Amino acid sequence: MAYRSPLLNVMTAAALKAAKGLVRDFGELEQLQVSVSKKGPADFVSRADHRSESVLRAELTKARPTYGLLMEESGLHPGSDTSNRWVVDPLDGTTNFLHGIPHFSISIALERDGEPYAGVIYSPIPDEMFVAEKGTGAFLNGRRLRVSGRRNVEEALFATGIPFLGLANHGLFLRQLGAVMAVSSGVRRYGSAALDLAWVAAGRYDGFWENGLNAWDIAAGIVLVREAGGFVSDLAGGRKMFTGGGVLASNTALHESLIGLVAQASPHPAAAS
């Protein structure tokens, strides 16, 4: 088993504790799929999401009481330590969870002085714990991770996120998808951006891009990809991942190619619909 710092021990312990409730709720949710209204299971998932966040907040605050928190459901909770902040998604892949699809995760990142410093992404059903801390590498259940070694786009498998009802830029996404799928080995959409990034770190995907994500969706995954030897940027190759620039991650050999494909698909993003 690879060494885990006290920081990562805190993060993994919090993820495991919150996951117990999610796994229990997931099992109960499967029984709600028969003869229930749309509101019923949706409300159930919302309660599961909030319970998970409550556990995570309690555990992280108990271990590091001065750190601030940025949480998907309850927002920003400032701390007296202005250098360190937890960034938490208690249930990434909510729609999968709602439909009984066992592909969802808990994502916890530590942001230090404005930069992602450590990340934990836990997928409860297959019991996969992805961890990374700046300068120490990325690991899956104790095994060292490296991004893929593929260098040719035509051999590469990419992942993305698809905009749904209520989100903008459907046309932009379709152009991006068309550009990438025309020259690659394939494109997948599994429904958890945190796990998409973790799978890039693990070499399962060769790259990933998505528009319009929030900090809690990607902060932990950014650390994982970087520590696994990959590269993360916004969709233009810059550093605006947290301010609306989208996110694009891959191994270093394919990064510029993927940026080029996405950029060609939308020469004028502001005008896209």
The DSSP-derived string for 218-232 is HHHHHHHHHHTTEEE
Residues of the chain with pLDDT under 50: 34-40, 268-273
Within 10 Å of residue 49's Cβ, how many Cβ atoms?
20
Torsion sign, CA atoms 123, 129, 134, 137: negative
pLDDT digits (tens, 9 = 90+) for 66-81: 999 999 887 889 999 9
Torsion sign, CA atoms 7, 13, 14, 19: positive
6-144 shares its CATH topology with 153-271: no
Nearest Cα to Cα of residue 119 among 93, 145, 97, 148 = 145
Give the pLDDT of residue 32.
56
Domains in the chain: boundaries: 6-144, 153-271
* 96 phi, psi to nearest 5 deg: -60, -45
Distances (CA, A) of 263 to 156, 205, 240, 268, 269: 18, 20, 15, 9, 9
R_g (Cα) of the chain, nearest Å: 18
Give the pLDDT of residue 75.
82
> By the 8 A CB rule, do 185 and 131 touch?
no
Give the pLDDT of residue 27.
86
* 147 phi, psi to nearest 5 deg: -65, 165
Give the pLDDT of residue 89.
96
Question: CATH for 153-271?
Answer: 3.40.190.80
> By the 8 A CB rule, do 51 and 41 touch?
no
Question: What is the CATH superfamily name and number for domain 6-144?
Answer: Fructose-1,6-Bisphosphatase, subunit A, domain 1 (3.30.540.10)
